[in-house]
Amino acid sequence: MNKNKENNTIIKSKREKDTKERIFKAAIDLFSEKGFDAASMREIAEMVGIKKASLYSHYNSKDQILEKILKYPIKRMGTVGQQDVNTEELIVSLGLEKFMDLAGDLILSWMEDPYMEKIWRIICIELYHNPQIKKFYSEFISLSCSYWESAFDLMIKHKLIKPIDPRLLASEYLSFYGNSYMEYFILHYDGSSASYLDEYKNRIEKHSKFIINSIKQNEEIKLGD
Q: Which residues in this chain contact DNA in the complex, by CB under 7 A?
A: 15-16, 19, 37, 39-43, 45, 50-54, 56-58, 60-63
Q: What are the Cα distances from residue 51, in Å, to 47, 57, 119? A: 10, 11, 25
CA 47 to chain centre: 25
Alpha-carbon distance of 38 to 53, in angstroms, equals 18
Taking the complex as a whole, the smallest distance from the CB of residue 79 to a copy of itself amounts, in Å, to: 27
182 binds, among DNA, a copy of itself, none (CB under 5 to 8 A by kind): a copy of itself
Nearest-Å Rg of the Cα atoms of the chain is: 22
* Nearest alpha-carbon partner for 41 in 57, 58, 60, 55: 55
Check if the beta carbon of residue 100 is closer than 8 Å to that of residue 59.
Answer: no
118 binds, among DNA, a copy of itself, none (CB under 5 to 8 A by kind): none
Taking the complex as a whole, the smallest distance from the CB of residue 39 to DNA amounts, in Å, to: 7
Residues numbered 25-64 forming contacts with a copy of itself, rule: CB under 8 A: 35, 37-38
129 binds, among a copy of itself, DNA, none (CB under 5 to 8 A by kind): a copy of itself
Taking the complex as a whole, the smallest distance from the CB of residue 86 to DNA amounts, in Å, to: 45
Which residue of 165, 191, 193, 199 would you call a contact of a copy of itself, by CB under 8 A?
A: 165
Cβ-Cβ contacts under 8 Å for 179 (sequence gap 6 or more): none
Q: Is 176 in the site for a copy of itself (CB under 8 A)?
A: yes
Decide whether 42 or 188 has the Cβ nearer to DNA: 42
If DSSP codes are grouped into helix, strand and coil, which group holds residue 216? Answer: strand
Q: Is 164 in the site for a copy of itself (CB under 8 A)?
A: yes
CA 98 to chain centre: 22
If DSSP codes are grouped into helix, strand and coil, which group holds residue 16? Answer: helix
Report the length, in residues, of the chain. 225
Q: Which residues bind a copy of itself (CB under 8 A)?
A: 35, 37-38, 124-125, 127-129, 134, 137-138, 141, 164-165, 168, 171-172, 175-176, 178-180, 182-183, 186-187, 203, 206-207, 210, 213-214
